[in-house]
Amino acid sequence: MEVIIQPTKEAAALLVARILAHELRANPHLVLGLATGKTMEQVYRQLVRMHKDDKLDFSLCSTFNLDEYVGLFPSDPNSYRHYMDHHVFRHVNVDARNTHLPNGLATDLDAECRRYEGLIQRFGGIDLQLLGLGKAGHIGFNEPLSALRSRTRVKALTPTTLKQNASFFGGEDKVPRRAITMGVGTILESRRSILLATGDSKADVIAKAVEGPITSMISATTLQLHPKCTVVVDEEAASQLKEKDYYRWIFGNEPEWEQYR
């Protein structure tokens, strides 16, 4: 795991977008794992800008989102399909047929989860997985006690998550109670992952995810098992990390990061 601390949330999001753009230019057929949430909006804004200004080409890539609510129509403004169309897909030249999200309306949800896993396999696995961080420490919707080897499945959302997402739905009671999410095992199989967390509300959980023991109670801690995970944070989210000097030293000295400094 590597930790990169940026001065602001804008700088953190820009760095994530630049890493993604670099990978996409190196491999136009990139299979991207995508995340939703407020934090990611800044990354997507940068990617849309790079598409418009720098001709960043999405025409050959494929995308798989981490999760989707159960029971929402794609046209529902709170569905993640709507989020992705609104913030990214509609503004870049990705082929809509290559954009994938779990179908939260499937009559057989377990079969849908198996189909989604199979589809990821058929595309050769995920090359680069973007991840946000829930306040309870979840990645995707892998709520506390998610098995470390779990695959795509239906999860019940915890009260903390319902509270965190209530404002989008106009009240906690309106938030769907369940979602389909890639499992921890699915995420750990991606070839590269980038976790982005900004703001002081994420400081406590980032410190646990990076420097705490691995536990299924906080699924982000399992990223310590990931073969190539980069954690990008702003100063606020980094405030409770103990080894900040070490992380800064690595970022300042590792040749791989030279183009991003």
**Interacting residue ranges for ligand GLP, rule: CB under 6 A:** 35-39, 66-67, 132-134, 140-141, 161
In whole angstroms, give the CA distance from residue 168 to residue 65.
19
Residue nearer to ligand GLP on the CB measure, 35 or 109: 35
Residue with Cβ nearer ligand GLP (69 or 89): 69
Nearest distance from C-beta of residue 69 to ligand GLP, angstroms: 9
Beta carbon of residue 246, minimum distance to ligand GLP (angstroms, whole number): 26
Give 25's contacts (C-beta < 8 A, 6+ positions apart): 56
E strands in 66-191: 67-69, 99-100, 128-131, 153-156, 178-181
- Least CB distance to ligand GLP at residue 152 (A): 13
- Residue closest to 138 by CA, chosen among 77, 215, 64: 215
Least Å distance between CB 182 and ligand GLP? 10
Closest CA to 187 of 141, 253, 239, 243: 141
Q: What is the closest distance, in whole angstroms, from the C-beta atom of residue 242 to ligand GLP in the complex?
A: 23
Task: Compare residues 155 and 192 and give the one whose CB is closer to ligand GLP.
Answer: 155
**Cβ closest to ligand GLP, residue 36 vs residue 79:** 36
Closest CB to ligand GLP among residues 38, 149: 38
Nearest CA among 2, 51, 4 for reference residue 260: 4
d(CA 134, CA 141): 8
* 260 contacts: CB under 8 Å, gap ≥ 6: 4, 15, 18, 19
CB of 12 to ligand GLP, least distance (A): 12
Nearer to ligand GLP, 36 or 99 (CB): 36
